[in-house]
């Protein structure tokens, strides 16, 4: 399987690239800075320098041709300002969908976020509210595309060592945290599971293995 990952130097993306490479798949990471390439190569991934804020869809499509799936793991970052939440968390996700369509790549997995409904809560910081709105709009745009899409909404991300024990279900789940290691494991399982297309799933730490949690979530309808 050949998987192209937008935001290829992000913390979840690096973990997913390692998992793909370890089992013999091809992971291609789209990165903004040439100096990030070494980190991907050390994991066995292929780096491609491509700034999603400035690259036209037709040019991006050239990097996607021959892929079996794309994963949107990019993010503007917590201190980037509201404008970049729009240009990265929404617009770049839509750009990847447009390019996937042009390249004939049908499978698209979007990393979103739990808590999108909190965007208009009075206690939410304006910049975080902009992030939540951007993610919600990206989800809406993706659902309008003729793609085999899956939306994964993790809870609060941690750098704790993954336990491989999760809770995965259609929204809403109670807010919780989840290690980035486990998010990457779930992404890998979603890529391997065609039945997960057309589904929006929320993810927190739990008590079930990734395989069992995914099976239960899909069986629940």
Residue of 173, 166, 221 lying closest to 198 (CA atoms) = 221
Tell me which residue of 66, 87, 63, 64 sits closest to 75, measured CA to CA: 87
Residue 142 inside a domain? The answer is yes
Beta bridge partners of 150: 109, 199
Domain membership flag for residue 81: yes
Tens place of pLDDT for every residue, the chain, 221 residues?
999 999 999 999 999 999 999 999 999 999 999 999 999 999 999 999 999 999 999 999 999 999 999 999 998 777 667 788 899 999 999 999 999 999 999 999 999 999 999 988 888 888 889 899 999 999 999 999 999 999 999 999 999 999 999 999 999 999 999 999 999 999 999 999 999 999 999 999 999 999 999 999 999 97
In a domain, 140, yes or no: yes
The pLDDT value recorded for residue 218 is 97
Structural domain total, the chain: 1
Position 187 scores a pLDDT of: 98
User: In this structure, is residue 218 part of a structural domain?
Assistant: no
- Regarding beta strands 46-49 and 69-72, do their DSSP bridges make them parallel or antiparallel, or are they unpaired? unpaired
pLDDT of residue 121: 87
Would the pTM of this model clear 0.75, i.e. be above it? yes
53 inside domain: yes
Residues 172-199: b if buried by 16+ CB within 10 A, e if exposed: ebeebebbbbbbbbbbbbbbeeeebeeb
**Residue 27 in domain:** yes
Does any domain span residue 173?
no
Q: Rounded to the nearest 10 degrees, what angle do helices 180-191 and 210-219 cross at?
A: 60
Range of the domain at 46: 2-155+198-203
pLDDT of 25:
98
Q: Residue 90 belongs to a domain with what CATH number?
A: 3.40.50.720
Residue 30 lies in a domain: yes
Provide the pLDDT for residue 144. Answer: 94
């Amino acid at each position: 399987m050949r998987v192209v990952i937008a935001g290829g130097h992000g913390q979840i993306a690096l973990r997913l690239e390692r998992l793909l490479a370890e089992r013999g798949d091809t992971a291609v990471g789209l990165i903004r800075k040439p100096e990030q390439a070494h980190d991907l190569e050390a994991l066995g991934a292929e780096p491609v320098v491509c700034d999603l804020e400035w690259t036209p869809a037709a040019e991006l499509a050239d990097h996607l041709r021959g892929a079996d799936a794309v994963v949107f793991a990019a993010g503007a970052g917590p201190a980037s300002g509201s404008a970049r939440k729009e240009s990265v968390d929404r617009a770049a996700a839509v750009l990847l969908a447009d390019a996937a369509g042009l390249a004939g790549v049908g499978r698209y997995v979007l990393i979103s976020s739990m808590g999108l409904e909190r965007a208009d809560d009075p206690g939410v910081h304006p910049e975080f509210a902009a992030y939540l709105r951007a993610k919600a709009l990206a989800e809406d745009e993706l659902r309008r595309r003729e793609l085999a899409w899956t939306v994964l909404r993790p809870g609060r991300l941690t750098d704790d060592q993954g336990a491989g024990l999760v809770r995965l279900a259609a929204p809403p789940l109670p807010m919780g945290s989840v290690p980035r290691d486990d998010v990457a494991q779930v992404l890998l399982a979603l890529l391997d599971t065609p039945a997960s297309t057309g589904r929006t799933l929320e993810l927190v730490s739990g008590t079930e293995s990734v395989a069992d949690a995914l099976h239960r979530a899909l069986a629940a309808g």
